[in-house]
Chain A
């Protein structure tokens, strides 16, 4: 009998322990710290090579079956205003004035950065975004509600929404040409680039390569590989001759993955669920006993019957 009970208690303790630790490992795993898949792919873009031909935009549209570019690629009027990605343009090339007047203008290419630990994924209430082990941040249109919190969360302002689609509006963004990279091909933009400004490869190799490029050309590049640590690190990496702040790159994002910003709050939730009932139930019992005490006010048992 006694040993039975001890057995039982031990069993419960073991069970509770397992539950506790497995909870920490599994249930909260979307908010666990994560620094990126070791073998994930990335793309390194050397902005000093980009001439703003927008062939990458064209190739991107073909690869993703998006409506073709309006007008001619030769038409430079498109650069007159800074563009962002939208539901029909997963990537856009922008032009910025040079640092010195005698230099050519600077072009940048904007698309989903494919964060190591994406803000959009930690924002999504149905988990429609996921980081694949190849590096692509993928979107599942079949479960998306269209709340657009991913767009609120993305520090790079990338996800776009089909505001004029009434029946199946989707969030649209670059897929890192997931289907192509699974077949061993390069993403369409990297494959088409006539200047070979975009290198596709293992992210860890690209970081070494970028550092090497900076070292080999003293004074040419900024001593900063954008994307190594921004918002916890991204699959896209950039080298530039001019400061990134002057060519439209969001600065001051910190090195923390964005999921970290809500982690503290989320971990307080179960605490509230456990502590509040005890605390509030205690208040209830306390006031009830005070009200029912014989020395209390005139409120008799009939009075308190339905209050309690």
Chain B
């Protein structure tokens, strides 16, 4: 590929040094890998590994608290129901830049697509841990079609969107390996891929909510609503915007050398813009939740324990972040907007855990969540997720333009 694209062939050793080892000789690269961060990450992964093996040797029951009454546990509440809304970054920024002409957000486009891609990739990985027979994952695509099932939709859309996001991220990959022609091809399908991505995101962000439409008698009435699909979709928007604020902040603080100085400078104003978007969507979400509450006529339930939690969610994790975002924008207080973004993400995670776990089968007397083995496996997978993200940001032109293609977008 490198020869085709017009520059001289390089020996493999040099190629690896440039592309994989951050420009250092292998020995030096390996030596520099020994850092406290990597040690801690390694320990967490080592702790998780035997438990993952245990899951495949002894069955799901050996490592989770999932039961016949609570068939879905931490893997799905965290990996699928919380992970997917936080991975909506890709479709948000791609549509902002390519469909709505908000070109000032271009510096955040690739980080957003990468965050989205990795979020989805790991959602699939959590699924592979959770599914009884993960090797049958391609069945709904090739073998048996449950067309009347929302889960069928989720499976297809996650698979298609994962591929779409890979296509959207391809320009960065081809710049990294220096494949000009492929890069041009990949850029040519951008608008098509973006539109396809928005379709898929609309449908499966909402489909995750629609999964619970089938459990009207099991999900607490304060959270069960015919609007569940819409609520899941709308909340994925502020989840993704907040995620992007946090992600870009972390890279600018922890890996400053990987971010172009121009992007560094633009980041504050872009962050305020993202915060403004999140505030707008948060208040919309609040309105929809209130309509749902009124529509279901559930006011009396607000006086129960679940009602208290519902109010905490609505006031503490929707109205309050909305107000904080607005205050941050008015005072141009980027720090406040960043803090609020973290807060908003916690709110979305709390909501997804409530719907898929706490408020599900709420009438059963005795329930257990979060088996410690389950938590360690999740911690190990999250660690791998962070390492993969960092590995890519350290090598590929994500927050930084590739010198050969600088100014070409």
Q: Which residues of chain A have a CB within 8 Å of any CB of chain B?
A: 27-31, 84-87, 119, 121-128, 143-149, 151-153, 155, 157, 159-166, 168-170, 250, 252-254, 258-259, 261-262, 264-266, 269, 272-273, 276-277, 280-281, 283-284, 287-288, 290-291, 299, 306-308
Once A84-B69, A145-B139 are accepted as A-B contacts, the answer to whether A166 and B57 lie under 8 Å apart by CB is yes
The number of chain B residues with a CB under 8 A from chain A is 69
Once the chains are docked, how many angstroms separate the CA of A124 from the CA of B198? Answer: 26
Residues of B within 8 A of A253 (CB): 217
Tell me, yes or no, whether B95 is within 8 Å of chain A by CB: yes
Residue of B nearest to A287 (CB): B101
B148 touches A28 (CB 8 A): yes
Given contacts A169-B59, A266-B150, A306-B190, 20 further A-B contacts (CB under 8 A): A119-B214, A123-B150, A125-B152, A126-B145, A127-B148, A146-B136, A149-B211, A157-B69, A161-B71, A162-B132, A163-B59, A165-B59, A261-B216, A262-B210, A262-B213, A280-B99, A281-B191, A284-B191, A290-B101, A291-B103
Residues of A within 8 A of B139 (CB): 126, 143, 145
Of B60, B136, B187, B195, which is within 8 A of A277 by CB? B195
Q: How far is the CB of B127 from chain A (nearest CB, A)?
A: 8
Interface window among B32-40, B110-118, B199-207, B331-339: B199-207
Interface centre among B134, B213, B214, B226 (most CB of A within 10 A): B214
Residues of A within 8 A of B210 (CB): 262, 265
Residue of B nearest to A280 (CB): B195
Once A162-B59, A284-B99 are accepted as A-B contacts, the answer to whether A125 and B149 lie under 8 Å apart by CB is yes
Interface centre among B71, B95, B194, B360 (most CB of A within 10 A): B71
A147 touches B132 (CB 8 A): yes
Of A127, A151, A152, which is within 8 A of B145 by CB? A127
Q: How far is the CB of A71 from chain B (nearest CB, A)?
A: 21
Residue of A nearest to B69 (CB): A157
Of A152, A162, A284, which is within 8 A of B211 by CB? A152
B150 touches A265 (CB 8 A): yes
A166 touches B149 (CB 8 A): no
A258 touches B133 (CB 8 A): no
Once the chains are docked, how many angstroms separate the CA of A272 from the CA of B195? Answer: 11
Of A122, A148, A252, A281, which is within 8 A of B217 by CB? A252
Tell me, yes or no, whether B229 is within 8 Å of chain A by CB: yes
Once the chains are docked, how many angstroms separate the CA of A7 from the CA of B54? Answer: 66
Tell me, yes or no, whether B97 is within 8 Å of chain A by CB: yes
8 CB contacts below 8 A, A to B, read A29-B148, A127-B148, A148-B72, A159-B68, A163-B59, A163-B61, A272-B203, A299-B103
Chain B contact surface mostly: helix
B217 touches A146 (CB 8 A): no
B132 touches A261 (CB 8 A): no
Once A145-B132, A163-B59, A280-B198 are accepted as A-B contacts, the answer to whether A31 and B148 lie under 8 Å apart by CB is yes
A166 touches B58 (CB 8 A): yes
Ranked 7 nearest A-B pairs via Cβ: A146-B132, A163-B61, A30-B148, A287-B101, A148-B71, A126-B144, A125-B151
Once A147-B131, A152-B211, A276-B202 are accepted as A-B contacts, the answer to whether A307 and B100 lie under 8 Å apart by CB is no
Residue of A nearest to B57 (CB): A166
Residues of B within 8 A of A258 (CB): 214, 216
Residues of B within 8 A of A299 (CB): 103
Tell me, yes or no, whether B140 is within 8 Å of chain A by CB: yes
Once the chains are docked, how many angstroms separate the CA of A186 from the CA of B27? Answer: 75
Residues of A within 8 A of B360 (CB): 152
Residues of B within 8 A of A147 (CB): 130-132, 151
A125 touches B59 (CB 8 A): no
Tell me, yes or no, whether B56 is within 8 Å of chain A by CB: yes
Query: B115-159: which have CB < 8 Å to A?
Result: 130-134, 136-137, 139-140, 143-155
B61 touches A145 (CB 8 A): no
B131 touches A146 (CB 8 A): yes
Residues of B within 8 A of A128 (CB): 144, 146
Tell me, yes or no, whether B315 is within 8 Å of chain A by CB: no
Once the chains are docked, how many angstroms separate the CA of A188 from the CA of B36? Answer: 64
Residues of B within 8 A of A87 (CB): 68
Tell me, yes or no, whether B98 is within 8 Å of chain A by CB: yes
